[in-house]
Structure 1
Amino acid sequence: MKKILITVLISTLAFVGCKSTNEKEGFAEKIELAHQKQHFLSNEAIKFNIILAFGGKERLNAKMTLLTNSSKGVLEFKNGAKIIFNKDKVFYSSTIPNEKSVRFDAYTWEYFFLFPFKLSDPGTKWNTYDNKEENHNDYLTQKLTFESGTGDAPDDWYVVYANKSDNLIEKAAYIVTVNGNKEEAEKNPHAIQYLDYKNINGVPIATKWLFWEWKEGKGLMKQIGNATLSDIQFISVDEDTFTPDADFKSIS
């Protein structure tokens, strides 16, 4: 009898654990399906113009070209200067507008753009999240964390909100720990809001981003920035697209 009870208990725990795992996987899969991830990845590359402003001042005005698998990308500024990334290596022109933010610019804005297609990347960990905001019933919400050693900042986290009406990501709260520590970053969380989705060859892509201060239990607080994306096109590229000139500087 004792052996039977233990067997039943183990089976029950296994079922509960399996159910929990499936629910977590289902959250990311549901969103990626709504964002047409497989169709997105069937294209080689995508390019678009991005104008980004914070505090009323223009922060970035460039053309971005990315491989859809996120392994390579290039930011080309109006003065012809470029930032090129190839996996974990970054190359840039000496005429870059802001040399101090080269690595940040290389990876941050492309990650926000590709975010809906990276929810099940290696190292991602999904956790239940108790959304206590007033309009919590409008969203599917979970928290994304990362395994140790994932990317430049594995201590970052995201609270992801998908609109229940279409499962598209509407906003994501986050912390940035790449230049600091988690404890300090959690004192100043922010959020990105994805708006004005447009159908680009069968893939819904947000053409307007808003950046906010964010507070747990309250949500979006004060708008601090915005971005506009335009001329979005899926394209084919050649090796020269991501090849730095001989005089480019590099960081890794």
Structure 2
Amino acid sequence: MKEILYILSAVAMISCTQYDSKQQTTDNPSTVVELSATQRIEAAHSKTAFLSNEIVQFDIVLEFGGTERLNGSMILATNSSKGKIVYKDGRELYYDEDLVYADTSFNNHGSARFAAYTWSYFFLFPYKLSDPGTNWSDEEQTTLNGETYNSQKLTFGEGVGDAPDDWYITYSDTETHLMEVAAYIVTAGGSTIEEAEEDPHAISYHDYKDVDGVALAHSWKFWEWRKDSGLTRQLGKARLSGLKFMTEDEFDFSALEGMVKIK
């Protein structure tokens, strides 16, 4: 399923000004610093250019198990500090750091909090690899569904995020270093690590396009995943459209009056 991804010339030019795909020079031209595996992924995704913008907005239609889970717009701070989901039916979710607000039509507060953080995290994931509290294994080359990738395992420090026991295994292209697949477990909702590891999933990123010098995936697929057999049964999909960058002056991130704080 692996796609050979080529970034448009604008992306390549910007990425090269931030990082070389394999090395970075310091102020001393004779000194060469080897980039880490995560830095190569960040460079491929033009992290510096992405973070130079304040807000990213896009429409998303997401299905899981044949059921539409999300149809609306997502407006996210590029530094992941806050975000809002505006559903087509008028419902809204809003998060600001560790606080989540929802309008009163959300009966299941647990699923609302999950939605507020999960879908935004999948979108922002390539830009959060160096967040405080992230712990990475050594990079290795591995095979997934017949294709070779660079792979690493991500775990989190104690107390990091809503579900610090979650882990991810990333699969990036060996040449472009773009993120292609991330396997993961979900412990949110009270599952133990052992229970979550009995049913690991994965997200695969597709249809990368240049948006103002940044490579952004325009479609996702969700899978059952096993370390030995790889991606097995497809569980869901998402289509992203209308991706654009904005400034904070163009959007009001505040919670609507009457929204309920979700714990």
Q: TM-score range by the shorter chain?
A: 0.7 to 0.9
Name the counterpart of 2:66: 56
Q: Which residue of 2 aligns with 1:197?
A: 208
Quick check: 2:59–2:72 contact (8 Å CA) kept in 1?
A: yes
Q: Deviations over 1:146-186 (max 9, x none)?
A: 11111111111111000112100000000001121111000
Cα drift, residue 137 of structure 1: 6.3
- The structure with the greater share of residues assigned to helix is 1
Secondary structure at 2:116 match in 1: helix
Distance in 1 between the 2:228 and 2:65 partners? 25
Report what 2:24 is aligned to: none
Q: Distance in 2 between matches of 1:168 and 1:210?
A: 16
Question: What TM-score, normalized to structure 1?
Answer: 0.86
Q: TM-score, normalised by structure 2?
A: 0.82
2:134 alignment partner in structure 1:
124
Q: Which residue of 2 aligns with 1:65?
A: 75
List gaps (5 residues or longer) in structure 2.
1-32
Gaps of 5+ in 1: 1-21
Q: Offset of 1:129 from its aligned partner?
A: 6.2
Tell me the secondary structure at the aligned position of residue 79 of structure 1. coil
- Give the 3-state SS of the residue equivalent to 1:166 in structure 2: coil
- Which residue number in structure 1 is paired with residue 243 of structure 2? 232
Aligned length: 230
1:132–1:218: 8 Å Cα contact kept in structure 2? no
What is aligned with 1:5?
A: none
Q: Is 1:115 aligned to residue 122 of structure 2?
A: no
Matched, 1:250 2:261: yes
Contact between 1:72 and 1:85, CA under 8 Å: does it hold in 2? Answer: yes
**Partner Cα separation in structure 2 for residue 183 and residue 151 of structure 1:** 19
Alpha-carbon distance in structure 1 between the residues aligned to 2:78 and 2:42: 14
1:3 equivalent in structure 2: none
User: Which amino acid in structure 1 is aligned with residue 256 of structure 2?
Assistant: D
Equivalent residue letter for 1:235: M
Partner of 1:93: 103
- The structure 2 residue matched to 1:221, chosen from 208, 222, 232, is 232
Q: Deviations over 1:20-74 (max 9, x none)?
A: xx98x70110100000001000001000001000111111101000000000100
Residue 144 (structure 1) aligned with residue 154 (structure 2): yes
In the alignment, the residues of structure 2 paired with residue 90 and residue 238 of structure 1 have an alpha-carbon distance, to the nearest angstrom, of 22
Answer yes or no: is 1:106 the counterpart of 2:116. Answer: yes
Greater Rg, structure 1 or structure 2?
A: 1
Task: Give the root-mean-square deviation of aligned CA atoms.
Answer: 2.0
